[in-house]
Amino acid sequence: MFSWSAGRSGFARIVILLPFLALLSGCGVNNIPTYEEQAKAKWSDVQNQYQRRADLIPNLVETVKGYAQQERTVLEAVTNARARATSVQVNADTITDPEAFKKFQDAQAQLSGALGRLLAVSESYPDLKSNQNFLALQSQLEGTENRIAVARRDYIEAVRVYNTELRTFPGVIWASTFYKGNKPMQEFTVAEDVKQPPQVKF
């Protein structure tokens, strides 16, 4: 049976809690999930750009093969590196795993190195260098490498904001109470020379 006094008591509790909840939201209790989602979205951008690069490679390899079939070792290295890079997946739920993230980075770095060697081969083949299909693929690859660099930079910044929130006041309080399962996300840590995209020469 409904009691008016009990109803008033429940309503009074809600009225008392409302300012407290408003204060909590103003103190950054929502920052951690907000920054986490932003970092995950930036990671999706990184993955999309790496996938775009992987999609360009088969056509690039076939074009080079038509003019420089004797460069079989280089062509196989690119194909194998692409297969490794596309087989190592790090999704938004595993970007907090250092081991998985390192495998992903290493695979992408190996592919970058193999692509660099493939593009260097083109210098020895004037007919290949002037082939319109090859030039178009080079241009697309260069644009993709630039987009990868931008997406990676944006991801690193989003992760910096998220990780900082987990470690600083008042975020550290929310992390230790409401968001105990949240872990710092991984950043790119590959060597500077490996981060450089393949040089595309025209």
Higher-confidence residue: 81 or 24? 81
Higher-confidence residue: 192 or 109? 109
pLDDT range class, residue 200, cuts 50, 70, 90: very low
Burial of 81 (0-12, 13-18, 19+ CB in 10 A): buried
Helix (H, G, I), strand (E, B) or coil at 129: helix
Kindly give, in sequence order, each residue whose CB lies less than 8 Å from that of residue 186, ignoring residues fewer than 6 positions away.
95, 96, 97, 98, 101, 102, 159
Given this model, what pLDDT does residue 197 score? Answer: 53
Residue pair 64/134 in contact (Cβ under 8 Å)? The answer is yes
Given this model, what pLDDT does residue 12 score? Answer: 63
pTM confidence score: 0.81
Calculate what percentage of the chain has a pLDDT beyond 70: 81
Q: What is the DSSP string of 105-142?
A: HHHHHHHHHHHHHHHHHGGG-HHHHT-HHHHHHHHHHH
Question: Each residue of 74-124: pLDDT tens digit?
Answer: 999 999 999 999 999 999 888 999 999 999 999 999 999 999 999 999 989
Burial of 193 (0-12, 13-18, 19+ CB in 10 A): exposed
Distance CA 146, CA 139 (A): 11
Question: Each residue of 30-77: pLDDT tens digit?
Answer: 999 999 999 999 999 999 999 999 999 999 999 999 999 899 999 999
Residue 196: is its pLDDT beyond 80?
Answer: no
Distance CA 55, CA 23 (A): 49
Distance CA 179, CA 174 (A): 6
Higher-confidence residue: 194 or 58? 58
Distance CA 61, CA 119 (A): 10
Residue 185: is its pLDDT beyond 80?
Answer: yes
